[in-house]
Amino acid sequence: MTIKIAVQAAPFDLGAEIAALHRDTPAVGAVASFLGTVRNEAGTVSEMCLEHYPGMTEKALAEIVQNAQTRWALHSVTVIHRIGPLAPCDPIVMVAVASAHRDAAFAACAFIMDFLKTQAPFWKQETTADGAHWVDAKDSDTGACARWAAPDL
């Protein structure tokens, strides 16, 4: 399996990353991907800043991808997470999983996102008119991981 993990301030090219997972790769029939962006439904967020724990982020992401690999037959996985200051609508994270069939690709992509949300050491700080404040963790994210604990999936 080919694994690419990157933690970077720079934007990523989701289309190019997905293309790299299937181009000239006849064993791949399915690529499931996820893009997370800076949401700003209320229109109050002027900036979102991502702090992380250098070294542990890459390690945590690699472990999550390896755990996915033991559960599903995957051909390749790319995970890119941005850090530093971002604007509303900016891409934050992408996960793309290539497999022979769609069920493995979809499941592994959702699995990686669920664990990234609860185990990878990133923290969001939003800036609004009131100043900067740290985003609280969501119980629903912890709950999302629990569903993968079932012995038969």
Partner 1 sequence: MKIHILYFARLRETLGTAKETLEIPAPATLALLLDTLRGRGGMWAEALAVGRNFRLARNQDLCPADTVLADGDEVAIFPPVTGG
Among 69, 100, 121, 125, binds its own copies (CB under 8 A): 100
Among 10, 16, 129, 149, binds its own copies (CB under 8 A): 16
The position carrying tokens 């609508």 is 89
Q: Is 32 in the site for its own copies (CB under 8 A)?
A: yes
Q: Which is nearer to its own copies, 28 or 80 (CB)?
A: 28
Shortest gap between Cβ of 82 and partner 1 (angstroms)? 10
Partner in contact with 16, chosen from its own copies, partner 1, none, beta carbon below 5 to 8 Å by kind: its own copies
Q: Crossing angle of helices 56-71/102-119, nearest 10°?
A: 150
Q: Is 53 in the site for partner 1 (CB under 8 A)?
A: yes
Q: Is 6 in the site for its own copies (CB under 8 A)?
A: no
Q: Is 24 in the site for its own copies (CB under 8 A)?
A: yes
| Binding-residue total with partner 1 (CB under 8 A) | 29
Among 74, 112, 113, 120, binds its own copies (CB under 8 A): 113
Please state the three-class secondary structure of the chain as a single string: CEEEEEEECCCCCHHHHHHHHHCCCCCCCEEEEEEEECCCCCCCCCEEEEEECCCHHHHHHHHHHHHHHHHCCEEEEEEEEECEEECCCCEEEEEEEEECCHHHHHHHHHHHHHHHHHHCCEEEEEEECCEEEECCCCHHHHHHHHHHHCCCC
- Count CA atoms closer than 13 A to 29's CA, side-chain side: 6
Q: Is 38 in the site for its own copies (CB under 8 A)?
A: yes
Q: Which residues bind its own copies (CB under 8 A)?
A: 13-16, 18-19, 22-41, 43, 45, 88-89, 91, 100, 102-103, 105-106, 109-110, 113, 144
